[in-house]
Structure 1
Amino acid sequence: MDAGMLALLGKTTALMEHLGFLWVVQTGMELNLWAELERDGSIDDLMALHPGWDKILLDHWLEQAYCQDLLIKNNGYFRVTKLGKAINKYRNSGLEALYKELVSHWGIEFAELPQLITNQKEKLAFGSDMEEELISKASLASEPFVWPFLRSKCQREKWQKVLDLGCGEGLYLNKLACEFPLLHGVGLEMNPVVASRAQERAKETGGRIHILCEDILSLRNLHDRKQQENELLADAERLLDESGTFDLCLLNNSIYYFTPEQRIQLLESIKGLLTPGGQVGILTAVRKGEPIRVFRTHVPQNLMSFFLACHQGFQGLPTEQEILTLLQQTGYTDVNISVMPLGTSHYFFAKCSHECSEMSR
């Protein structure tokens, strides 16, 4: 067998192993098996709990989970390993949504690549489950390393008024409000279902965080809106109507939802809402044109970029240089880039000068 064929077979078997891991983890979460196997249990114990299940398939699942080092086996009894415990521990922190997105959407939609590349089929559209559940919840998976960074930066910068555009579940606004008692914030989320969940979460802050169900690109219209719909909306829109109000505007995992032209419009609008010296913070995975060959740390985000590009209105993830150029074009200064752990995301922070904020009003 020649070297090329051997390498190809090696890649193929590795792919099968990774797919097996993906399916085993997601199925275990959906069936709550990771929780049930935190104590010793045999296949007969599990069948007694679930008499309607297929025993042969359950046996295969247990075998695969054991082979993937997610379960340990002793005399016919299974129990989760530390890795298996972590799955159950972090499933509600975005992990379950991320795996469901990968299983239910990535594989199925990538299967249509031949038709998409040859223009035999129109670009895809996100389903309601992606827009209302998976996108916002899967983004929470980055919270364990993004939040410590954001908290530390807030301690240094002493932000007191924060605007979060595309706030999703409102996680970071709420955490900032809980950590810093003088901090107030407004979040915009365009999906009504997600915005409703964020509004419920915001109630824990005692009125210091307000969530509006609005498109981010409606910022200019919000400035001109005169009629208030209710007291909560009035408070939030009052802050938005006050030029030079916010110390910080966050754009977390959202910049790639906009065309290059829309990004410029958005960054220009934000300047009018920032105090002199106020900052914009852009969190995004970035596409790398030249992957690192040793650890291949940029393969996941390049694949994410590929997935996004299969959909209507998306061109994939931006490169680091594209974000730097965007900030320069729109008049932001003192750009600082922080690479998050694992290298999957970059946080770009840039300042709005007094001249910039004056010109945008």
Structure 2
Amino acid sequence: MRRRLTVAVLVVLAVALVAAAALVAVRWWRDRDRTALEQATSYAPADAQRLSWTDWAAVRDALGADLDGSSSAGQVQSFLDDGFDRDLTSTSALVQSAPVLQERFGFSPATAQWELFSQSEQGAVVIVQMPDDTDLGDVADELEHSGFTPPGSDPTAGGVWDGSDVLPQVGANLTPELQYVALDADEHLVLTSDNAGYLRDTVDQLGDGSLPSGMADVVAASGEPLSAAVYDGPYACSALAMSHADRSDQQEADQLVAQAGEVNPVTGFAISAQPGGDVRVALGFENGDQARTNADTRSVLASGPAPGQGGDFTDRFSVDSATADGDVVTLDLTPTEGSYVLSDLSSGPVLFATC
């Protein structure tokens, strides 16, 4: 009888190992030709209109930060201060909460691989990928210790932890996006939201959605950024519009656009901090003809006055290149010392992103 039980146990273990190996193989095949940003956006809800990306592992490397789960809250804050000075953290939804996350949640910018903050009219969700060797069971223990109500199912299998009643007691200055938490051990993900239903829907559909083509195109053109803001066409045309400027600036903008030439509405917009310190802007258009036309006009607009922002764009950056590839225009910018190009130009008015 003991021999039969031993054989049965070995068979179960073998099947489990084969299943685990298959999962790793599927993951490798799925991600082999995708950037980290593209991998992250594959988890975004299908209704995403605005994506904010921070590659925390790359930011730590860029800043020479040696952090881990045992680092103090003060060390984490010092790292974030350095990141702010380099304009690498403005896209994160977790910066303000990071010291408490480090001490009370079992994950933070000190240990995360990357963070994607997805927003739409229906809801918002923060998606954090942890390193493969992270035990999300430890995160579950921290959540329970902090007073979160665990899900009825496996606590690391995507069920929603409820911290809506205890979040103010856990720590000061915590973002409301941490009220509800879900853990996905298979994908090494921590997901959070201020809306339990939206979080459940995100988990249930994880990896099933796809970005609109305009957003997907500008994500692909962004390469391997340290941080980025990505918008769909309608959101970009609203958030970056010159209507945010006062009347005199709007009139100046109209004259500058008329002088520059034809501009077309964008189908997607991305601005990103690149390795080495440059900033890249990617603008999607309906077709290649529009992209080629707008490569010229957008370059002219990005090299002149910046109504609504003040001064000239050349006070903030130089335009190194403006190229059209397929339906996408890419502007590669070199920021001037002390300028905050990504954080300043991810909200309007931004003349060279006008629709």
* TM-score between the two structures when normalised by the length of structure 2: 0.26
Higher relative contact order (CA 8 A, sep 6+): 2
* TM-score between the two structures when normalised by the length of structure 1: 0.26
Q: Which has the larger helix fraction?
A: 1
